[in-house]
A and B are shown apart, each in its own frame.
Chain A
Amino acid sequence: MEEAGHAEHSPLAQFEIHRLIPLEFFGIDASFTNAALFMLISVALITWFLMAATRGQNLVPGRLQAMAEASYGLIAGAVRDNVGTEGKQYFPFVFSLFMFILFANFIGLIPHTFTVTSHIIVTFALAMFIFIAVTIIGLWRHKLHFFSLFLPHGVPIFLAPLLVPIEIIGYLTRPISLSVRLAANMLAGHTMLEVFAGFVVALGIFGFAPFLFVIAIYGLEVIVAFLQAYVFAVLTCLYLSDAINLHKH
């Protein structure tokens, strides 16, 4: 962040991807980049956090164990409320998704780190995986009856030619809105932080005003980091619910 004062330093430089270990397989650039590094760090931190938190298994949880139990309870509650008891078997998936996004978001808030979730390709890959998985689960559970999802209950049949395309577009929109929401939130927040941090240096003695603003935005960003991970998990639950329960919006 201290580099933000230089005129040549763009607030978008933080999103650049660098090759750390160049790799190439059959003409495909598969280099180990800073994005890959921070994904690995996220996974390693999550593993450490959950292992360390559950090592003691005390009746009265300590701080770490309470954090782990709270995050577990949060997602378990979201799965139960949105999908029902049948959603239990998908809990590990939703929980892993939530923890990965949460940790990637939080790690990105530390200066000089890289925010994996600010890249739309990362969030789009996650969303597309959910989209395809949910479609397969729905088709597998309900066979062709799954397509009744595109015709809401109690609709007069002459409205079907209009409503079915609308519902299909709505269905195809899911991976896009899911991924754009997360990536845009991260991108916008981090860019704003860096722009205002640049003002702090540029304004000299009057820099305290944008400095206070940076602190306020940072607080907001911490909440956004959590909220967006939670929203991602809840929407995954809702899509799962559509595939499992069909018409119960």
Chain B
Amino acid sequence: MFVAAQMTDDRPPQPGAPPPDLGDFGDRLRRAQGQNEPVGPQETGAGGVNAKGMGAAFRIATELIAALVVGAGLGLLLDRWLGTRPILLLVFLALGMASGILSAFREAKRMGAASE
């Protein structure tokens, strides 16, 4: 966007003769854009499957599971290091669940803010 906008605005005229109908290009562009319905970006795919919704669901699901896995892994590592098996595993499993829910919640909140 930083450059793309400038590219179309500030470019000096081409050395060759510019197309004669370029003067009303802005008007024609606006008219053409007005004709199109404002469609959301790729809401539904083939077969009416909502790809965006599936992506959102998948995002939250991985968030939950990954946090749980990381929590369990950290717990196991610390247990092995400190020799406190299985106390820290249980503690970090719970923390992992909490972390997963927290990030899933944040993700959902961000999606809600983005769709408004």
- In the bound complex, do residue A166 and residue B47 qualify as a contact, i.e. CB atoms below 8 Å apart? no
Q: With A59-B8, A59-B11, A88-B2 given, is the CB distance from A220 to B49 under 8 Å? A: yes
- In the bound complex, do residue A69 and residue B99 qualify as a contact, i.e. CB atoms below 8 Å apart? no
Q: Does A60 contact B (CB under 8 A)?
A: yes
**Interface hit among A14-22, A38-46, A104-112, A173-181:** A173-181
Closest Cβ–Cβ distance, residue B81 to chain A (whole Å): 16
Residues of the A chain whose Cβ atoms lie less than 8 Å from the Cβ of B52: 227
CA distance in complex: A57, B6 (Å):
12
Residues of B within 8 A of A (CB-CB), count: 41
Main secondary structure of the interface of B (DSSP, over half): helix
- In the bound complex, do residue A72 and residue B3 qualify as a contact, i.e. CB atoms below 8 Å apart? yes
Q: Which residue of B lies closest to A176 (CB)?
A: B66
Q: Which residue of A lies closest to B63 (CB)?
A: A177
Q: Does B84 contact A (CB under 8 A)?
A: no
- In the bound complex, do residue A166 and residue B51 qualify as a contact, i.e. CB atoms below 8 Å apart? no
Residues of the A chain whose Cβ atoms lie less than 8 Å from the Cβ of B70: 169, 172-173, 176
In B57-78, the 8 Å CB interface with A consists of: 58-59, 62-63, 65-67, 69-71, 74
Q: Does B82 contact A (CB under 8 A)?
A: no
- In the bound complex, do residue B103 and residue A170 qualify as a contact, i.e. CB atoms below 8 Å apart? yes
Closest Cβ–Cβ distance, residue B73 to chain A (whole Å): 9
Q: Which residue of B lies closest to A228 (CB)?
A: B55
Residues of the A chain whose Cβ atoms lie less than 8 Å from the Cβ of B47: 213, 216-217, 219-220
- In the bound complex, do residue B66 and residue A231 qualify as a contact, i.e. CB atoms below 8 Å apart? no
Most buried by B among A76, A170, A185, A228: A170
- In the bound complex, do residue B55 and residue A76 qualify as a contact, i.e. CB atoms below 8 Å apart? no
Residues of the B chain whose Cβ atoms lie less than 8 Å from the Cβ of A165: 92, 95
CA distance in complex: A180, B65 (Å):
10
- In the bound complex, do residue A76 and residue B1 qualify as a contact, i.e. CB atoms below 8 Å apart? yes
In B72-115, the 8 Å CB interface with A consists of: 74, 92, 95-96, 98-100, 102-103, 106
Which residues from chain B sit less than 8 Å from chain A, CB to CB?
Answer: 1-4, 7-8, 11, 14, 18-19, 22, 25, 42, 45-47, 49, 51-52, 54-55, 58-59, 62-63, 65-67, 69-71, 74, 92, 95-96, 98-100, 102-103, 106
24 contacts between A and B (CB under 8 A): A59-B22, A91-B2, A169-B70, A170-B67, A170-B102, A170-B103, A172-B74, A173-B100, A176-B69, A177-B66, A177-B67, A180-B65, A184-B58, A213-B47, A216-B49, A217-B46, A223-B42, A223-B51, A224-B54, A227-B42, A227-B52, A227-B55, A228-B55, A249-B106
For the complex with contacts A69-B7, A72-B3, A220-B51, 5 further pairs of A-B residues with Cβ separation under 8 Å are: A165-B92, A169-B92, A169-B99, A216-B49, A220-B49
